[in-house]
Structure 1
Amino acid sequence: MQKDSKYIKIEVAAYSGYKANERPLYFVVDQQKFQVTKVQDRWCGQDHDYFKVLTDDEQVYTLKWHRYLDVWFIL
């Protein structure tokens, strides 16, 4: 697990429709896979997209995608 200040870098598989990384499908943290069952909220920052997601373990996580570097983090 690689940390970037207060964020943890993660691996994410995302759906790309009319634009890249429209919504996360699943993510991996410390070799554990979390299936995204619902995107509860989404908002955009200057260089980042944020996703509040519900996973198959019924937990809520916030994911951050850096659009220009194409890197994902969990908050």
Structure 2
Amino acid sequence: MRVDVACRAGHGGSEEPVAFTLGERRVRVTEILDRWPGGDHLYFKVRGDDGARYILRRDFEILVWELEVYEASTDTYGE
């Protein structure tokens, strides 16, 4: 699912997500939990301000971001 992502310069000057839009809702990234390369993609596992965890994928070839995985928060602490 393609998503609009706001970014800032991160490690080594590469972009890292700070917020993204799901439909009409804007989710602020509160923590980057992990990141890893995968071919022509860069993956970010992030926690949103809603407590949920997401995996966002940046496609370098066609220059788009996609939501790969969504995992709702299971408790009040977002774990």
Percent identity of the aligned residues?
34
1:19 maps to 2:16: no
Find runs of 4+ consecutive structure 1 residues off by over 6 angstroms.
none
Q: How many residues in Structure 1 have an aligned counterpart in Structure 2?
A: 67
User: For residues 8-62 of structure 1, what are the alpha-carbon distances to aligned partners after superposition, in whole Å with 9 as ceiling and x for unaligned?
Assistant: 00000011254342x1000001121000000000000110000000011110000
In structure 2, list runs of 5 or more residues that go unmatched: 69-79
TM-score (norm 2): 0.78
Aligned-residue CA RMSD (Å)? 1.1
In structure 1, list runs of 5 or more residues that go unmatched: 1-7
Counterparts of 1:26-45 in structure 2, within 5 Å, are 26-45=19-38
The counterpart of 2:67, out of the listed 62, 69, 74, is: 74
Give the AA of the match of 1:42.
R
Higher alpha-carbon Rg: 2
1:54, 1:70 → 2: CA distance?
22
